[in-house]
Amino acid sequence: MPPWRAAASKAASAVNGRRGMAGVFPFTVRKTHTPALRSQWTRRAAGGSIPGMDTQSPPHFSITTVNRLDDPSLRAGLEHLLTDAVASGASVGFHAPLDPARNAAFWDDVASAIASGGLRLLVARDGAGRVIGAVQLALSPKQNSPHRADVQKLLVLTDQRGRGVATALMNALYDLARSLGRNLLELDTRAGDFGEPFYSRAGWERAGVLPGHTLEADGSFHDAVMFCRRL
């Protein structure tokens, strides 16, 4: 772990009582930060970055909820993020190399789902505004599951991995889910992928295995592991 991350993590643990929170906001954690302030930051994580904060000190990224995808640079950044993840071998619904038309259609669907209120998208951007990560929260529309949501497409650019971006995205997503009254989260991830230990370490509970859940480009079938988490 890089020294800055260890320091940020330690400070965040002292202040937040849990790891990774420091990555949500580009700020220096001080002992004087109160629970009320942390709660304010949490709300802002779901609604916007904090203007005027020091974006040079690591961790130098911020997380925002995105309501529209019509900004061309945001859209291009999200398409690049998905292309990069698929090229890296991630099992996120597509075969490599990702067809640009499928990529565009995917984000069109995301934009429609956001507009119809069924989906929330959290985006991590670096100090220059470049999209470096994202995650989606799909709200169950069913009458019998107003408490439930699916976590989808947790993605971090390959050159930004291992720096706490995913951890910070997930922490912001938990806060967002709570604020929407969703206290049961579910997801699945390809068995044997990095996601499996990632979610286990992050406190998710293994709920079972879906045999032969995905068909890979080489014709083989892979199991998926289902995880759930109560907030």
Of 29, 110, 166, 173, the residue at the interface with ligand COA (CB under 6 A) is 166
Taking Cα atoms as reference points, which of 122, 99, 100, 98 lies closest to residue 110? Answer: 122
Does residue 189 belong to the site contacting ligand COA (CB under 6 A)? yes
Binding segment toward ligand COA, per CB under 6 A, in 37-45, 82-90, 142-150, 221-229 = 82-90
Q: What is the CA radius of gyration of the chain?
A: 17
Strand, helix or coil for residue 197: helix
List, in sequence order, the alpha helices (H) in the chain.
3-16, 35-47, 72-87, 100-115, 165-179, 195-201
Count Cβ atoms below 10 Å from residue 211 Cβ, excluding itself.
10
Tell the smallest beta-carbon distance from residue 179 to ligand COA (Å).
22
- Read out DSSP for 70-115? --HHHHHHHHHHHHHHHHTT--SS-PSSPPHHHHHHHHHHHHHHHH
Tell the smallest beta-carbon distance from residue 202 to ligand COA (Å).
7
The half-sphere exposure of 191 on its side-chain side, counting CA atoms within 13 A, is 16
Q: In terms of CB distance, is 65 or 196 closer to ligand COA?
A: 196
Tell the smallest beta-carbon distance from residue 180 to ligand COA (Å).
21
Of 90, 121, 122, 172, the residue at the interface with ligand COA (CB under 6 A) is 90
Backbone angles phi, psi at 48, to 5 degrees: 165, 160
Extract the tokens encoding 151. Answer: 């976590």
Extract the tokens encoding 121. Answer: 């998208």
Taking Cα atoms as reference points, which of 48, 69, 24, 228 lies closest to residue 140? Answer: 228
Of 154, 173, 185, 224, the residue at the interface with ligand COA (CB under 6 A) is 154
Of 194, 214, 222, 226, the residue at the interface with ligand COA (CB under 6 A) is 194
- Restricted to residues 199-228, the positions that interact with ligand COA (CB under 6 A) are 201
Distance CA 201, CA 57 (A): 27
Does residue 163 belong to the site contacting ligand COA (CB under 6 A)? yes
Does residue 173 belong to the site contacting ligand COA (CB under 6 A)? no
Binding segment toward ligand COA, per CB under 6 A, in 55-63, 88-96, 106-114, 137-145 = 88-96
Binding segment toward ligand COA, per CB under 6 A, in 25-33, 58-66, 136-144, 195-203 = 195-203
Tell the smallest beta-carbon distance from residue 32 to ligand COA (Å).
26
Tell the smallest beta-carbon distance from residue 198 to ligand COA (Å).
5
Residues found near ligand COA in the complex (CB under 6 A): 1, 85, 88, 90, 92, 154-156, 161-167, 189, 193-195, 198, 201
